[in-house]
Amino acid sequence: MHIRIINPNTTASMTATIGEAAQRVAAPGTRISATQPEHGPVSIEGHFDEAVSAVGVAETVLAGEREGGIDAYVIACFGDPGLAAARELTRAPVIGIAEAAFHVATMIATRFSVVTTLARTGIIAEHLLQSYGFAHHCRRVRAAEVPVLDLERDPDAAVQRIVEECLRAKAEDGIGAIVLGCGGMAHMRAQISETVGLPVVEGVTAAVKLAEGLVGLGLQTSKHGDLDFPRPKPFIGRYAHLGT
């Protein structure tokens, strides 16, 4: 089984960290390959960043389809940028890490809180909770106020601030689990869980296990309805390469 992890930002060191975290939880025989778009933001911290990165996600899925042999894709940004569009482009399962984390958290606790990087991206997480139908399971979306790239630049300080926010969530929110709200936190899950004393769900690793399950069940993305392949048409200008 081959799972392609797409880091929608363009920071190669974060892509490598995400890929390593994914491989650690993958079953024997599952191949993990991690990549990122050639163009786009170095981190994703708002709606504009997501809009630009979604094009890179689509291009990366199309490249994977040309390459062949990829059984599932994981979009490793907590905003799930370009998720529906990516699902149009392939029969393989495509899993966003926020959607995966929310699903898994509800299987181990009746209430959870999300601890993410910045308050502005917390609002995006709240939008996703509503659209995915998990808002009634989530007690609060909290921000550690850690810029995404600081997860790489100063990981010790970042973990400390995330743990502090998780401990506040544990004390104040009446929850049974915590969801980490950034793909760049993939390698921090075990340390944070042990320190906080609660189950901690992280979306990259959760998505890998869900992808393995879907592939094992022989389930693919439906091509009946809105997730059918895009209607053929030309694209103009810088996006001409995306047209058919």
Position 244 scores a pLDDT of 79
Report how far residue 158's alpha carbon sits from residue 160's, in angstroms, rounded to the nearest whole number.
5
Are residues 191 and 111 located together in one domain of the fold? yes
Q: What are phi and psi of 177, to 5 degrees?
A: -155, 160
Q: In the sheet where 94-96 sits, what is the strand order?
A: 31-35, 2-6, 72-75, 94-96
| DSSP annotation of 76 | -
Question: Domain containing 63: what range?
Answer: 2-96+206-242
Position 123 scores a pLDDT of 96
Are residues 91 and 211 located together in one domain of the fold? yes
pLDDT tens by residue, the chain, 244 residues: 999 999 999 999 999 999 999 999 999 999 999 999 999 999 999 999 999 999 999 999 999 999 999 999 999 999 999 999 999 999 999 999 999 999 999 999 999 999 999 999 999 999 999 999 999 999 999 999 999 999 989 999 999 999 999 999 999 999 999 999 999 999 999 999 999 999 999 999 999 999 999 999 999 999 999 999 999 999 999 999 998 7
The amino acid at residue 183 is: G
Are residues 82 and 103 located together in one domain of the fold? no
Are residues 91 and 104 located together in one domain of the fold? no
Would strands 72-75 and 200-202 be described as parallel, antiparallel, or unpaired? unpaired
Query: Would the pTM of this model clear 0.85, i.e. be above it?
Result: yes
End-to-end CA distance of the chain: 29
The CATH code of the domain that includes 156 is 3.40.50.12500
Are residues 115 and 160 located together in one domain of the fold? yes
Are residues 139 and 225 located together in one domain of the fold? no
Token code pair at residue 103: 């699903």
Report how far residue 149's alpha carbon sits from residue 167's, in angstroms, rounded to the nearest whole number.
23
Name all contacts of 106-111 with Cβ < 8 Å and 24+ positions apart: 106/134, 106/137, 108/176, 108/177, 108/199, 108/201, 109/175, 109/176, 109/177, 109/199, 110/137, 110/176, 111/137, 111/138, 111/139, 111/173, 111/174, 111/175, 111/176, 111/177
Position 130 scores a pLDDT of 98
Position 243 scores a pLDDT of 87
Report how far residue 181's alpha carbon sits from residue 123's, in angstroms, rounded to the nearest whole number.
11
Report how far residue 83's alpha carbon sits from residue 90's, in angstroms, rounded to the nearest whole number.
11
Report how far residue 225's alpha carbon sits from residue 207's, in angstroms, rounded to the nearest whole number.
24
Are residues 145 and 227 located together in one domain of the fold? no
Position 102 scores a pLDDT of 98
Are residues 228 and 132 located together in one domain of the fold? no
Position 18 scores a pLDDT of 97
